[in-house]
Amino acid sequence: MKFFKKKRFIFSSLFLIVFIFMNSCMTFRESDKRIYKKFKKVNKTPQIYRENYKGKTVRYVSAKPIKNSLPTLLFIHGAPGSGDSFFRYLQDDDLSKKATIITLDRLGYGYSDYGNAETSIEKQAESIYTIIQKHKLNNVVLIGWSYGVPIAAKMAYKYPEIKHSVLVAGAISPEDEKFFGIAKVIQWKLTRWMFSKALKVADDEKMTHVTELTKMLNDWGKIKTPITYYHGTKDRIVPYKNMAFITTKVNDSLLNAITVKDANHFILFKNYGMVKKELLVILDYIDK
């Protein structure tokens, strides 16, 4: 009996060590040094910027110096995540010829006040808008993914100068918000210490998401910015039901709703060619 207890203790201890190690790797952040190394491999030199929002730092990256003479593609990541999720777009030569491309770490993630959750969608939107203000950007196209979608939508509502919004797999319907069992484990005081700061920030956002989305219900009908919306029929993270939500909330004349058959939550990456093609079309029409 002592032998089995000892084995069980060793197994449990090893499992805990592996679990903690895995979570320590799930920081979802890239240092400036690592970003420079990544871009060097493709013969590019990234531009890394920092802007202040009410005493908090917002870090953002572009593949070349930011110019407001070009249209801008501005990517907003989900939860958890960081700006490096979209580096493939940032490094794309076809897109770079037509636009300034910017990715950013949202508040709480990456190197933007890392570990301190900002659960207000409005404040997240305001913090990103400081980038537009600082560089006096024109012809801005927002690309929001997952949790980044309602933030992009809030920006389109608050700042009508936004030219277009490409929203992908959006967690936007308060009635269709999906919860996962691990969320409770991250919230428990006894186990919260085991998780990375990025996962804890994502969980804090998740716990307030329904309330935040409910606050936005009247905003959708007032958006005057054209929207391209993608959602996959086999999205197991954010239900396809969100497609029905946006089609009933946004003016038909502004909305191009695209169902991607059999696609999962990662359309921006697995259907890269389709999204890139749409971005090129948008850039052509707004630059005329």
Which CATH number do you get for residue 12? Answer: 3.40.50.1820
Instruction: Please give the residue range of the domain that contains residue 118.
Output: 2-286
Tokens in use for 54? 């009410």
Give pLDDT tens digits for 217-231: 999 999 999 999 999
Lowest mean pLDDT among 6-15, 54-63, 65-74, 116-125: 6-15
Tokens in use for 7? 């084995």
In this model, does residue 252 exceed pLDDT 50?
yes
Would you call 115 helix, strand, or coil by DSSP?
Answer: coil
Instruction: Show Cβ contacts of residue 183 under 8 Å, excluding neighbours closer than 6 positions.
Output: 203, 206, 207
Instruction: Show Cβ contacts of residue 106 under 8 Å, excluding neighbours closer than 6 positions.
Output: 76, 77, 81, 82, 112, 118, 124, 127, 128, 148, 151
> Which has the higher per-residue pLDDT, 181 or 128?
128
**Residue 124 Rama label (left phi>0; alpha psi -120 to 50; beta):** alpha
Of 143, 133, 134, nearest to 164 by C-alpha is 143
**Measured between alpha carbons, how far is 267 from 270 in angstroms, rounded to an integer?**
5
Give pLDDT tens digits for 42-81: 999 999 999 999 999 999 999 999 989 999 999 999 999 9
In this model, does residue 12 exceed pLDDT 60?
no
Give pLDDT tens digits for 84-94: 999 999 999 99
Lowest mean pLDDT among 64-68, 160-164, 186-190: 186-190
In this model, does residue 183 exceed pLDDT 60?
no
Which pLDDT score is estimated for 200? 84
Q: How many domains does the chain have?
A: 1
In this model, does residue 25 exceed pLDDT 80?
no
Of 132, 241, 124, 233, nearest to 177 by C-alpha is 241
Hey, CA dihedral for 208, 210, 213, 218, is it positive or negative? negative
